[in-house]
Amino acid sequence: MDHQPKFFENLSGAGKAIAVLTSGGDAQGMNAAVRAVVRMGIYVNAKVYFIYEGYQGMVDGGDNIVEVSWESVSSILQVGGTVIGSARCKPFRTREGRLQAALNLVQRGITNLCVIGGDGSLTGANLFREEWSGLLEELAQKGKIDAEAVKKYAYLNIVGMVGSIDNDFCGTDMTIGTDSALHRIIEVVDAIMTTAQSHQRTFVLEVMGRHCGYLALVSALACGADWVFIPEYPPEEGWEDTMCVKLSENRARKKRLNIIIVAEGAIDCHNKPITSEKVKDLVVQRLGFDTRVTILGHVQRGGTPSAFDRILASRMGVEAVLALLEATPDTPACVVSLSGNQAVRLPLMECVQMTQAVQKAMDEGRFLEAVKLRGRSFENNLNTYKLLSHKKPDAELPKTNFNVAVLNVGAPAAGMNAAVRAAVRVGMTEGHKIFAVIDGFEGFARGKIKEISWGDVGGWTGQGGSILGTKRTLPAKYLEKIADQMRTNNINALMVIGGFEAYLGLLELSAAREKYDEFCVPMVMVPATVSNNVPGSDFSIGADTALNTITDTCDRIKQSASGTKRRVFIIETMGGYCGYLANMGALAAGADAAYIFEEQFDIRELQANVEHLTEKMKTSIQRGLVLRNENCNENYTTDFIYQLYSEEGKGVFDCRKNVLGHMQQGGAPSPFDRNFGTKISAKAMQWISKKLKETYRKGAGKVFANTDDSVCLLGMRRRNLVFQPVAELKSETDFVHRIPKEQWWLKLRPLMKILAKYKTSYDVSDSGQLEHVAMLPKEAETGAI
């Protein structure tokens, strides 16, 4: 819908007081949310208070409720847990406790609450809001406050953010902390895999999730586990036999290890618990395999938040303050949450009721309904896992006689191998023969092509780089040779996993259809590049891993400055002309500035940034961080910016520079990239099957596809995964600089500036509408994985 941009400058917080508290179990990223609430609140001239120790602090009052300043939240972005503490609170469950809490808030003029916690904490907040006017009247009757105060503070506004590693809250794709918990789990699984491989062991891993199997399911998907137990989808009767057969089949296929993942709340179809010990005993008794149990426990809550959680929490925090500023006595308490990659507001109680409905369905044995209530994203994860983990016997597989080739093109990106694995296994399940092309289009021309089987791609999800090998070469100069290879191997469809070169390659192949019939076959591209510069998709495989590398490095670099005199770091990131990594890295690392090609800057802006940092260094803050995209400006190089800052900052701060380089392309893929790669690639292969059926000509006995919609790019757009003909994407592309003409993340630029204390304008047209839970299109495939 087209409407005039709405800017929040007109929203003033003057005269308002906002308090922020964290409650319930802690989750990584809560601090990023607290920091965003405080800074955004101060930015709009509101008073902001910390409430220490959750609701307990609200009831106890005194030093537990303190006004805070900008510097209060400096350097907490990278810290796990919550710096303002969290506690379970019995008194707040009683009316007396809430009465005392109301008094403590009114004495400080606080009528806006931002609560970060799970569904219990948010339900408590909503009850408090409903009772508020009654509580004030009772306080007035007891003579603790005057009639004036009852009038002045008549309404309490509440906005919630969900901080929970279990991702057990309906209405939001990802809760704060989930992605970081997955990072912890995957780090452990990767480490365990090497030792299990050495000894031919079976490992049973128990992960958190008393009522929700999200962590277990997604980590099973991300590491290719042999079996997973989750509360929403109990195994069928006789699962013991099925599982043991599966494990021994895998061993027979020369797989040296087995991984079984158990959610702590796993149950069988009679609602009886399935424990990790029970699973271990079963494997030992039936199969005699050397089996070990590892319970991850509180490790999953710990550690530093991932880049995704920091950005999510920062966006939510800013959105929460906007929601409080716009709240009226009639708006219901809302939660700010994520759908796709968009921030949305939802009525708090609708979400809570839906979350409770899932539990009720599980208690009553309506498990299919429970899976559906969890949302499309959860359902897709489950279906993809079922598709990829169990190979059907050959006799049960359909035979289509179609041959599909899979290749990697462009620079390597973490997660490419997970995408290849999913393509191979889904393709085989659909009945096709899958051929792997080595070394991209160049290898294709040279005939480096071989059939690949189910077992060949085992263990690929966690491998970085590109196992098939990848090259940047475009197909134009090899067209004849590639056409020959497609004819020789009778290739009926192409799946290309890669970056901008893959996109250009598909454009070249479709242009060559007039001359070569061999290219008249369905072709699909899955975007995979650290630069995230492919038109038609908000995310590409590999960008999240690169972003985490940048964030981790910035954390270390910032730490290296602690204890030294005031210091500013200039850090250069990759991305070609696309500023995604620099901009999002700056948001995740809490940088002061990010120079990108998409937003031109001049010497005056550089000067203003230096002055801004000089001012900042006069406070208690000792460090500055500046990110620069490698191609943001040909004259203002990293060296130039370093020299300028060094000269201008003389006597106030000194400077260091760091070029991150190829470490951004390496490393094991993050959980997000493994899953995004797996799901998007599985969907692409299903599209190929559909197109093959549509374009097969019985009379000629061959596939013939020459329309634009048979060459597509599968991308993530706002809330949905969509297939778009590459021909239609041409108009959206800046071919000179190899970037899309419009990029969604530029809207987040002001966020980074606000959090770094710059005055800026922020378009809030997208936020502000309260949506309803049932209406949410749950294809919202991922901001979530």
Active site (catalytic) residues:
166
C-alpha count within 13 angstroms, C-beta hemisphere, residue 106:
26
| 330 is an annotated ligand-binding site residue | no
| 88 is an annotated ligand-binding site residue | yes
**DSSP track, 588-633:** HHT-SEEE-TTS---HHHHHHHHHHHHHHHTTT--EEEEEEETTS-
At 310, which amino acid appears?
R
| 45 is an annotated ligand-binding site residue | no
φ/ψ (deg, to 5) at 633: -165, 130
| 529 is an annotated ligand-binding site residue | yes
Where b means 16+ CB within 10 Å and e means fewer, 218-244 reads bbbbbbbbbbbbbbbbbbeeebbeebb
| 201 is an annotated ligand-binding site residue | yes
Helix, strand, coil: what percent of the chain each, to 5?
A: 45, 20, 35
How crowded is residue 68: how many other Cβ atoms within 10 Å of its Cβ?
Answer: 20
| 1 is an annotated ligand-binding site residue | no
Give me Rg for the CA atoms of the chain.
Answer: 27
Name residue, tokens 């559906």.
372
| 369 is an annotated ligand-binding site residue | no
| 25 is an annotated ligand-binding site residue | yes
Residue 335: beta bridge partners?
160, 346
Q: Which 8-state DSSP code applies to residue 115?
A: E
- State the Cα–Cα distance between residues 665 and 411, nearest whole angstrom: 8
| 531 is an annotated ligand-binding site residue | yes
Angle at 680 between CA 422 and CA 259, to 5 degrees: 40
| 574 is an annotated ligand-binding site residue | yes
Cβ atoms of 574 and 547 within 8 Å: the answer is no
| 259 is an annotated ligand-binding site residue | no
| 592 is an annotated ligand-binding site residue | no
| 354 is an annotated ligand-binding site residue | no
| 119 is an annotated ligand-binding site residue | yes
| 663 is an annotated ligand-binding site residue | yes
Cβ atoms of 289 and 283 within 8 Å: the answer is yes
φ/ψ (deg, to 5) at 553: -65, -45
How crowded is residue 65: how many other Cβ atoms within 10 Å of its Cβ?
Answer: 21
What CA–CA distances, in Å, run from 40 to 18, 28, 113, 467, 622?
11, 20, 14, 45, 22
| 209 is an annotated ligand-binding site residue | yes
What CA–CA distances, in Å, run from 84 to 46, 75, 117, 283?
20, 14, 13, 45
| 769 is an annotated ligand-binding site residue | no
How crowded is residue 62: how many other Cβ atoms within 10 Å of its Cβ?
Answer: 9
| 715 is an annotated ligand-binding site residue | no
At 349, which amino acid appears?
M
| 210 is an annotated ligand-binding site residue | yes
What CA–CA distances, in Å, run from 695 to 496, 522, 537, 592, 692?
19, 8, 26, 54, 5
| 701 is an annotated ligand-binding site residue | no
| 208 is an annotated ligand-binding site residue | yes
| 485 is an annotated ligand-binding site residue | no
Cβ atoms of 743 and 734 within 8 Å: the answer is no
| 498 is an annotated ligand-binding site residue | no
| 23 is an annotated ligand-binding site residue | no
| 366 is an annotated ligand-binding site residue | no
| 738 is an annotated ligand-binding site residue | yes
The residue ranges of DSSP E strands in 639-706, in sequence order, are 654-659, 696-697, 702-703
Which residues are annotated binding-site positions?
25, 88-89, 118-121, 164-166, 201, 208-210, 264, 292, 298-301, 472, 529-533, 567, 574-576, 630, 656, 662-665, 738
Q: Residues forming the annotated binding site for substrate?
A: 164-166, 201, 208-210, 264, 292, 298-301
Binding residues for beta-D-fructose 2,6-bisphosphate: 472, 529-533, 567, 574-576, 630, 656, 662-665, 738
Binding residues for Mg(2+): 119
**Residues in binding site for ATP:** 25, 88-89, 118-121
